[in-house]
Amino acid sequence: MSIVDHPAKAIYLANRNPRMSREEFRERWIRHSRVGEVLAGSGPQPINGLRYCLTVDPAAIVPGASNEHDGVGLLSVRSVVSIPSMHTVLTRNDVALADELRTFERAVEDVTVYAASELVLDGPETDVAVIEYARRRETVDPVEHLRAIERRPEDDALLEAGVRRWVRNTAVGAAPRGFGYDAVNELWFDSLDAVADAAPTLEAFFERRATHTERRASTVLVTTVIHRLGRTRP
């Protein structure tokens, strides 16, 4: 695959403006998508799709997951080579920034990871996703970490447990301070009940990778999709 054709994403960790409740944030975030619709329009804009994934309380679903964040924004970028243009959109668009500060705790540029996207398991994009922000151990080289988290035969247990789609997003370029994650995995399920049933398998999956991934510095979120724009891409 040519680098020009390699899919990419800008992925941001959303925390709501503290003046809003979770339900108010849900509605406000969807309204914020109008800005995204402008950015994803025709012409040389870098974004060609978005997914807003709202977190749910994971206590009874995946006990080891986090409830410290409100959502994840998955913004599909036309190509890896479009990432600099995407960064320009985030950092120089005053209209978008003003709307972000009404919606979120921080500007989106301060919580965004840019990544090259890889479809590990092809399948339908459902309404439920477990999203893992993985950070490698300090003693592990980035290339070594990437090789260590390649799909392995034992990972087929995820398919048996109900994973319908798996996308691995590998971080490229510098990240904001505090957001130096190495990969963001999207594991898509049919329902929250399916995620709960798969919890032991997910735990085993994360634990297998713990030799290279620092679990205490990584974050797992259980989310439901509340808004879609554009076609499905890796």
Encoding tokens for residue 141? 């080289």
Give pLDDT, residue 43: 52
Where exactly are the structural domains of the chain? 3-225
In angstroms, the CA 73 to CA 17 distance is 15
Eight-class DSSP state of 215: G
3-225 maps to which CATH number? 3.30.70.100
pLDDT band at 95 (very low <50, low <70, confident <90, very high): confident
pLDDT for 54-77, tens place per residue? 999 999 999 999 999 999 999 999
Chain segment 194-231, per-residue pLDDT in tens? 999 999 999 999 999 999 999 999 999 999 999 999 88
CA distance linking residue 84 with residue 88, whole number of Å: 6
- Report which of 204, 206, 200, 157 is spatially closest to residue 185, judged by C-alpha positions: 206
Cα separation, 148 vs 140, in Å, equals: 10
